[in-house]
Amino acid sequence: MTQPTAPHIFAADQRSRWLSNPPGIWSLQDADLDAIPTMSILTTLWDQPRWLEAYHLYDEHGSELFEDICDLPEYYLTRTENSILEANAKNIVAAAPVKCIVELGAGYSKKTIHLLSEQTRQRGQSVFAPIDVSVAGLLASQSAVQKDFPQLEFHGIHARYEDGICAIEKSLPTLFVFLGSTIGNFNHTEFPRFFRALSAAMGPDDYLLLGADRIKPVKLLEDAYNDSRGITAEFILNVFRNINGLLGANFDLKQMRYQSWFNPEWQQIEMYAVATASQEIRFPNAGAAFEWRQNEKILVEISRKFDANRLQQQLRFIGLTPVEHFTDANQWFSVLLFRKEG
Ligand code: AVJ
């Protein structure tokens, strides 16, 4: 079978690196996506404190649990951001005159639909290219977009964010969309590294739309990550089921519990798994093991909360100029539009 040539959304020097499989979903030819999670899990688990990169939470079951979290009464983020986008999609799209929308992460949510329908209404023919590490998510997005927006050219990019971002053609006016306060997952080294890479990859006619959860009373924050139905606990501990499957490890979900709190100094929710008994965790495939002591915590996820003005100032230093700031009546969440410094 001959490979179709990668489309014009990829930079010319990148096109030969991307293969389409299945049709419309592009993957890096030389990426070893299996080796990467193993390496990531083992290194961070041997760190002090032990921790995990957040993307391991999103196996199939984890993605379903996250969908359930979005509907929880305590989890105000998704609802609030959606209302901001619904109310302002027209202004956002008008302020960012682009031909292409690249979404980082989950491809086809209610929130994205507001932007896509405004984009097609205001500009007609356009490109929509979500970047995601999950092929299943990209395929779902593809079939939904093809059905609802036949005017949109769809290209799914199966890659980690930075690999995907760097491949996009700089001269194609593009709006990068990064919603849900996913940036809250980045720690203090990942955060500047990510934004430097994004800013460097953006062309002079490119924009960034960023969703960020804001600092607010601690009770509201802590409840959002410790819901009464225990779905958040299930979501966090599910990462160990995923790791057992990936690495043949023996984490026992009955010998751990979920614990979270808002760290006021770091202004972040920290989500931990705590060992309820000492246990030996073995990774037979890697010939490795460690002693997980009773009460020792593994940091599974952080969710940083932001001061919107400070975030704008920070990104200004990285070459991203604030264009507009959209928020809700309570000022719980911000949707920020930036353009690349010309
Ligand atoms: C998807 C990273 C934005 O931090 O609020 C929700 C993930 N973890 N409940 C968040 C999450 C537990 C979520 N993000």
Q: Of 24-33, 113-122, 170-179, 239-248, which gets the smallest average pLDDT? A: 24-33
pLDDT band per the 50, 70, 90 thresholds, residue 33: low
Question: How far, in Å, CA of 336 to CA of 216, rounded?
Answer: 18
Over 60: is that where the pLDDT of 1 sits?
no
Question: Distance between CA atoms of 133 and 105, rounded to whole angstroms?
Answer: 8
Kindly list the distances between the CA atom of residue 237 and the CA atoms of 105, 231, 232, in Å, as whole numbers in the listed order.
21, 10, 9
Q: What is the pLDDT of residue 108?
A: 73
Q: Whose CA is nearest to atom 10 of ligand 1?
A: 303
Which of 65, 70, 181, 306 should be mutated for ligand 1, with most atoms under 8 A from CB?
A: 181
Burial 314-326 (b: 16+ CB within 10 A, else e): ebeebbbebbeeb
pLDDT at residue 253 in the model: 98
Query: Could you tell me the two tokens for 17?
Result: 């690196």
Q: Ligand 1: residues whose CB is within 6 Å?
A: 69, 77, 180-182, 184-185, 225, 232, 235, 301, 303
What's the CA-to-centroid distance between 249 and ligand 1, angstroms? 25
Substitution site in 71, 231, 258, 301 for ligand 1 pocket (most atoms within 8 Å of beta carbon): 301
By most ligand atoms within 8 Å of CB, the mutation choice from 66, 186, 269 for ligand 1 is 66
Spell out the long-range contacts of 64-68 with Cβ–Cβ below 8 A and sequence spacing 24 or more. Answer: 65/231, 65/234, 65/235, 65/238, 66/235, 68/231, 68/235
Instruction: Quote the pLDDT of residue 110.
Output: 80
**Which residue's alpha carbon is at the smallest distance from atom 5 of ligand 1?**
303
CA distance 6 to 11: 9
The pLDDT, as a whole number, for residue 21 is 85
pLDDT of 280 > 60? The answer is: yes
For residue 180, the ligand 1 atom closest to its alpha carbon is: 3
* pLDDT at residue 120 tops 90: yes
Instruction: Say yes or no to pLDDT of 42 above 70.
Output: yes
| Cβ neighbour number for residue 16 with a 10 Å cutoff | 12
Residue 269 alpha carbon to ligand 1 centre in Å:
10
Q: How far is the CA of 182 from the centre of ligand 1 (A)?
A: 7
82 pLDDT higher than 90: yes
Give which of 103, 192, 179 is closest to 145, Cα–Cα. 103
In terms of Cβ atoms closer than 10 Å to its own Cβ (0-12, 13-18, 19+), residue 117 is middle
301 Cα nearest atom in ligand 1:
8
Between the CA of residue 131 and those of 9, 62, 178, what are the distances in Å? 12, 18, 10
**pLDDT surpasses 60 at 298:** yes
5 Cα to the center of ligand 1, angstroms: 37
- Give yes or no for residue 219 having a pLDDT over 90: yes
Mean pLDDT of 59-74: 94
Q: What is the pTM of this model?
A: 0.94
pLDDT surpassing 80 at residue 265:
yes
Could you report the per-residue pLDDT of 281-297, keeping only the tens digit for each? 999 999 999 999 999 99
Q: Which amino acid is at 187?
A: N
Q: Please give the sequence-ordered ranges of beta strands (E in DSSP) within the chain, or none if there are none.
A: 18-20, 25-28, 100-104, 126-132, 152-154, 156-158, 174-178, 207-213, 256-263, 268-275, 279-283, 288-292, 297-304, 320-327, 333-340
Residue nearest to atom 14 of ligand 1 (CA): 182
Q: What is the percentage of the chain residues whose pLDDT exceeds 70?
A: 97
Specify the residue with its C-alpha closest to ligand 1, atom 1. Answer: 182
* 177 CA → ligand 1 middle, Å: 17
Q: 2 pLDDT exceeds 80?
A: no
Kindly report the average pLDDT of the chain as a whole number. 94
Inform me whether the pLDDT recorded for 313 exceeds 60: yes
Averaged pLDDT, 295-309: 98
* pLDDT at residue 34, rounded to an integer: 65
Mean pLDDT, residues 61-89 taken together? 96
Instruction: Report the separation in Å between the CA atom of 68 and the middle of ligand 1, taken as the mean of its atom positions.
Output: 12
- For the chain, first and last CA: distance in Å? 43
